[in-house]
Amino acid sequence: MPRYEGPENKIFEFSGETTPFEIFKEWNIKGAIAAKIGGRAADLHSKITGGGVLEPITPETSEGLDLIRHSTSHLMAQAITRLYPGAKFGVGPSIQDGFYYDVLFPKAITDDDLPVIEAEMKKLAGEKFRIERVEMTSPEALEKFADDQFKVELINDIGAPTVSLYGQGEFWDLCRGPHVPNTGYLKHFRLMSLAGAYWRGNEKNVMLTRIYGTAFADAESLAGYLNMMEEAKRRDHRKLGRELDLFSFQPEGPGFPFFHPKGMVIMNTLVDFWRKEHTKRGYSEIKTPLILDRELWQRSGHWDHYRENMYFTEIDERPYAIKPMNCPGGILVYKTSRKSYRELPLRMAELGIVHRHERSGVLHGLMRVRCFTQDDAHIYCTSDQIGAELKKVIDLDKYVYDVFGFQFSVELSTRPENSMGDPELWTLAEQKLQEILEETRTPYRINPGDGAFYGPKIDFHLRDSIGRTWQCGTVQLDFQLPEKFDMTYIGNDGAEHRPVMLHRTILGSLERFMGILVEHYAGAFPYWIAPVQARIIQVNPEHEDYALKIEDILKNMGVRVERDSRDEKLGKKIRDAQLEKVPYMLVVGAKEVESNSVSVRTRTGGDIGSRGIEELTAMLESEFKPEAMRQ
Ligand SMILES: [Zn+2]
Ligand SMILES: [Zn+2]
């Protein structure tokens, strides 16, 4: 007699056929929206016969949430079919944070249509249409979808004798499934935005309308997400970057950021901090050319594995490439002299400007650009030194992220499909990384198949002040490039050995990191990063000499100070400084001149009273410095 085994050693024996729904009822398991049979997801009401391991899928799990989101995309398609007869459908998957569906509308729609579609979805959800699976032969399916050229193309591409369709009410869609049992399970959703999307991502194809939406298991989660999105919009670094005059983009260079003076102050502050910290930790710094012979990139493997992301040029009829990574240049520096084991580990950092092609549709402010500065470093060491070096890198990561107030999580990415080199070395490298993560008690998650083509890697995902995560730092273990470039060092046995190479970044891209900081702090940078740390506000021109004296004192102690001498009302000057999120406003009027003081306002606490000059300088001196975080 076939039997299913469930959680907590539950057993269900039967003959003929049954459904996960029946079994869960028998097992008294509540809240399932679908099932997993032998690890494969299936509909709750699917007919099952074979037996095996059976588990419920519930809305709280990431799998359950995906299922709800994907099912909501079908619900949206059904609503669109009712509202816009003749609409045709591409694909409608669940994605991180929600779902989308690509639609060819009979007439263009705008953002104003989204609430209308959403209202129709609510109505359809209320009707609790059963969502049922039907298998049919491909010719039958082609007939059913005869007037939707996209589905026809998909069925022909699948090329299987049979395909599965899902129906809810009058609406049918081509889909592998599974889905929630009926539309009544879909309650907490919101349509978010519209975008253009070429059919199958190909610019030669027709442009469809992509509608993005989100869905959650419960009302609180949806509300929390919508709040976060609202907050994210308020903090959008593209908007704040413009308002705070930090950077811009010009039509002459799509994806190539222009940094303005205030943006450069932030950038240079990051670089100063970074450089100091690296010097302390035994790194040296190099700089290698942006343009190098194409042959170098063929040798490094970039030509085979990374070509479509690279830009090329020609000099004296010789082919060159613009570097997308700093490693090959760094290796050439390593090879300029014979290395001894005494010089290892050798830590060479480079703030390297790299160019990587991104499609114009995915460019996004500083977060996704075509040119950026990597805070790169390559560590060359013996295989005995790998563990200690990895630990040092992880320690540096933890320290730096802490300075900015980021929590982080770690992912270990393993061998990808297009990997280079011996699979055994890969396994060894993966084990080494895992070992160090465990030794340093760093919690991590494994990300199968997401390693770099030359080695496995550890990625650091930072959690910002509104709960979003950003991948920034990475450490990659590489046995391949030293081999390809025949790198050696002389061991204490006098013979030549192969060094191991670690690639690592902490901030990732300086440009992107700055974008992340703008959103993390909502433009109110901490004192040590703020482009303007203090602004002297003189009440009227007769206080100018005194204001100049204060400015001089502060400038001499290295404070980034500005003076507002405009002929404006005091209230307006204070408001402007607040809008620009200047940490300290130092108001100077008759009373202050007389008592040799300034009246201090902070951007958060308002008026904090008057301070004598020495009190003021001591107060600014005591502001947070990143060095203070070191134990
Ligand atoms: Zn589906
Ligand atoms: Zn590298």
- Residue among 482, 480, 462, 483 at smallest CA distance from 472: 462
Q: What is the pLDDT of residue 155?
A: 95
Q: Which ligand is nearest to the CA of 92?
A: 1
283 shares a domain with 397: yes
368 secondary structure, DSSP code: B
**Domain ends where: 230, 255, 279?**
230
Query: Is the pLDDT assigned to residue 628 strictly greater than 90?
Result: no
In a domain, 186, yes or no: yes
Cα separation, 20 vs 69, in Å, equals 21
Q: How far is the CA of 439 from the centre of ligand 2 (A)?
A: 25
CATH for 74: 3.30.980.10
Same domain assignment for residues 489 and 549? no
Domain identity same for 47 and 66: no
14 band by pLDDT with thresholds 50, 70 and 90: confident
Task: State the CATH number of the domain containing residue 620.
Answer: 3.40.50.800
Domain boundary among 488, 520, 552: 520
Annotated active-site positions, please?
327, 356, 374, 376, 378, 457, 503
Q: Residue 171 Cα, ligand 1 centroid: separation in angstroms?
A: 12
Ligand 1: distance of its center to the CA of 228 in Å? 28
Question: With contact defined as beta carbons under 8 Å apart, do 428 and 376 qualify?
Answer: no
Q: How far is the CA of 166 from the centre of ligand 1 (A)?
A: 7
CATH (domain of 40): 3.10.20.30
Same domain, 53 and 66: no
Please tell me the pTM assigned to this model: 0.83
Residues 198, 282 within the same domain: no
The neighbourhood of ligand 2, an ion, using CB within 5 A, equals 327, 503
Taking the CA of 67 as reference, the closest ligand is 1
E-state strands within 44-161: 52-57, 88-89, 94-95, 98-104, 131-137
Based on the fold, state whether residues 129 and 184 are members of the same structural domain: yes
Residue at 304 is within a domain: no
Q: Is 180 within a domain?
A: yes
Mark whether 168 and 209 lie in a shared domain. Answer: yes
Say if residue 184 is in the same domain as residue 85.
Answer: yes
Residue 136 lies in a domain: yes
Q: Which two tokens stand for residue 79?
A: 């609503």
- Rounded Cα distance between 630 and 492, Å, is 35
Among all ligands shown, which has an atom nearest to the Cα of 89?
A: 1
Q: Is there a contact between 2 and 50 (Cβ–Cβ < 8 Å)?
A: yes
Do residues 50 and 101 share a domain?
A: no
Q: Does residue 310 fall inside a structural domain?
A: no
In this predicted model, what pLDDT tens digit does every residue of 482-510 receive, in sequence order? 999 999 999 999 999 999 999 999 999 99
DSSP collapsed to 3 states, 442-482 = CCEEEECCCCECCECEEEEEEECCCCCEEEEEEEEEECHHH
Residue 510's SS3 state is: helix
Check whether residue 496 and residue 623 sit in a common domain.
Answer: no
Claim to verify: residue 496 and residue 622 sit in the same structural domain: no
For the stretch 236-258, pLDDT in tens is 999 999 999 999 999 999 999 99
10 Å Cβ neighbour count for 502? 23
Name the pLDDT band for 467 (thresholds 50, 70, 90): confident
Evaluate whether residue 147 is within a structural domain.
yes
Q: What confidence tens digit (pLDDT) does each residue in 542-598 have? A: 999 999 999 999 999 999 999 999 999 999 999 999 999 999 999 999 999 999 999
**Residue 432 forms part of a structural domain:** yes
Say how many domains are in the chain: 4
Q: Is the dihedral of CA 137, 139, 143, 147 positive or negative?
A: positive
CATH of the domain at 505: 3.30.930.10
Q: What is the pLDDT of residues 70-90, one digit of tens each?
A: 999 999 999 999 999 999 999
User: pLDDT by residue (tens digit) across 294-327?
Assistant: 999 999 989 998 999 999 999 999 999 999 999 9
The range of the structural domain enclosing residue 564 comes to: 534-629
Q: Would you state the structure tokens that stand for residue 131, as one six-digit string?
A: 């969502």
Assess whether the previous peptide bond of 139 is cis (omega < 30° from 0). no
Residue 332 lies in a domain: yes
Q: Which ligand is nearest to the CA of 326?
A: 2
Question: Within this chain, do residues 575 and 459 fall inside the same structural domain, yes or no?
Answer: no
**Cα of 167 from ligand 1 centre, angstroms:** 10
Using the predicted structure, report yes or no on whether residue 631 has a pLDDT greater than 70: no
CA 97–ligand 1 middle distance (angstroms): 17
Ligand 1 centre distance from Cα of residue 14 (Å): 30
